Structure 1
Amino acid sequence: MTPWIAWQLADSAFPAGGFAHSGGLEAAVQLGHVRDPAGLDRFLEEALWQAGSLTLPFVLAVLRAPERLAELDARCDAATPALVANRASRARGRALLRAATALGPAARSLEQEVLRAGLAGHLAPVSGALLARLGASENEAGRLHLFLAARGLLSAGVRLGLCGPLEAQAALARAGAVAQAVLAAAAGRAPEDAAASSPLLELLQSHQDRLYSRLFQS
């Protein structure tokens, strides 16, 4: 994958749907679980470990074997039983597919293939399939997946008033060490072993639909 494309995918202007989701952070704030920048740091670290144990294995497995997309998309669906998290994963996967049509012929046909096959189109396996077409290495794919997870949460944190933009950038820099540890721990983890590592995060995200008022879809 060329550095230019990697930067484009990591750019917050790339319309992949993450802006509409908080990953359970909005519910965590309203329920008093996260109250300040320190709480946001803890939530971010927990979310990165959750991504490493639950979604990253699907990204990397499809990257290695794109022909397994349908099988692994179905397995990802089964591994994400919580309604809100499952809905968010599908919505973001489809948004990524739509945005990817602008990246050229290598990525353009992927959306149609997913639609023709009637797949759920979860974010993690779809990301793996897209990155395989773009020629990404496993290291690039893993880092990008975790970076986007961290960036999305911190963007939500700014909009929820937990921190300012500069504090968010400092938190993102600190999260790099956590991401490295997550990548090392997740190395070699098969999608058959994918599982949520934080039941609390799942419960918080599942509470999203019960919030009286909300900015985010999840």
Structure 2
Amino acid sequence: MDPWTLLQLADSALPTGGFAHSGGLEAALQLGRCGGPEGLARFVDEALWSAGSAALPFVSAAHAEPARFAALDLRCDASLPSAVQNRASRLQGQAFLRAAAAVRPERVARLGAEAERGGTPGHHAPVFGAVLGLLGAEPGVARSLFLFQTARGVLSAAVRLGAAGPLEVQGLLALARRTGEAVSAATAGRAPEEAASTSPLLDLWQAHQDRLYSRLFRS
């Protein structure tokens, strides 16, 4: 995969809709379950381990075999019973697919047509893996980029929620690298059949999003 395309897909300006989601951080803050730099750092670590156990198996499988995308997408759909999480995954996956097709239509457009034709939900993890696989990214690069965007999404939401400043967030994002590397190594060989949620509190915060009286994010 050429470095230019990789940088473009990693760019926060890529219109994937991630800015509309906090990954449960907004609910956690309002419920008083996350406060200060240490609390925010713990939340990011929790989000990374959760993504590693529940989503990375689908990223890896779709990356290795993009032709299995439809079956993996349906399995991913079944693994997300929470309405809030399921909706967020669909919205971000479909947006990432459209954005990637605009960047490299000759490689990705067919995947979008296949998803539309098959009526699959287009969840973020299998879409991400299949796109990176079609574009020739190394497996480790695909996993790292997925985890990086997970951490960056949470921390970007923290800035807009007033929980941290931009410079403070960059420091936390740099520190999250160690957790991201540990998560990627620990889950590298995990199959989609082994995907599981390992953070019940994070799941509850994400599910609580629709119950907030006032909210800035969709999830």
Could you say which TM-score interval applies, normalised by the shorter chain? over 0.9
Partner of 1:164 in structure 2?
A: 165
Unaligned stretches of 5+ residues in structure 2: none
Work out the CA distance in 2 between the residues paired with 1:182 and 1:171: 17
Larger deviation, residues 60-69 vs 101-110 = 101-110
Matched, 1:53 2:53: yes
Amino acid at match of 1:209: D
Whether the 8 Å CA contact 2:115–2:122 is kept in 1: the answer is: yes
Matched, 1:115 2:116: yes
State the Cα distance separating 1:156 from its structure 2 match.
0.2
Work out the CA distance in 1 between the residues paired with 2:98 and 2:8: 15
Partner of 1:14 in structure 2?
A: 14
State the Cα distance separating 1:132 from its structure 2 match.
1.1
Larger deviation, residues 140-149 vs 33-42 = 33-42
Work out the CA distance in 2 between the residues paired with 1:53 and 1:101: 27
Work out the CA distance in 2 between the residues paired with 1:2 and 1:122: 25
Unaligned stretches of 5+ residues in structure 1: none
- Secondary structure, aligned partner of 1:13: coil
State the Cα distance separating 1:21 from its structure 2 match.
0.3
Matched, 1:201 2:202: yes
Work out the CA distance in 2 between the residues paired with 1:193 and 1:211: 32
Partner of 1:132 in structure 2?
A: 133
State the Cα distance separating 1:90 from its structure 2 match.
0.4
TM-score by length of 2: 0.98
Work out the CA distance in 2 between the residues paired with 1:60 and 1:178: 18
Larger deviation, residues 77-86 vs 101-110 = 101-110
State the Cα distance separating 1:67 from its structure 2 match.
1.3
Superposed structure 1 runs of 4+ greater than 4 Å apart: none
- Secondary structure, aligned partner of 1:6: helix
Partner of 1:98 in structure 2?
A: 98
Please show how residues 27-106 of structure 1 align to structure 2 within 5 Å: 27-104=27-104, 105-106=106-107
State the Cα distance separating 1:133 from its structure 2 match.
1.2
Please show how residues 146-157 of structure 1 align to structure 2 within 5 Å: 146-157=147-158
Q: Deviations over 1:4-46 (max 9, x none)?
A: 1111111110111111100000000000001222111000000
State the Cα distance separating 1:108 from its structure 2 match.
2.3
Whether the 8 Å CA contact 2:47–2:202 is kept in 1: the answer is: yes
Partner of 2:142 in structure 1?
A: 141
Partner of 1:214 in structure 2?
A: 215
Q: Deviations over 1:101-155 (max 9, x none)?
A: 2112112232221111100100000111111111111011010000000000000
Work out the CA distance in 2 between the residues paired with 1:111 and 1:215: 30
Work out the CA distance in 1 between the residues paired with 2:142 and 2:37: 28
Whether the 8 Å CA contact 2:60–2:188 is kept in 1: the answer is: no
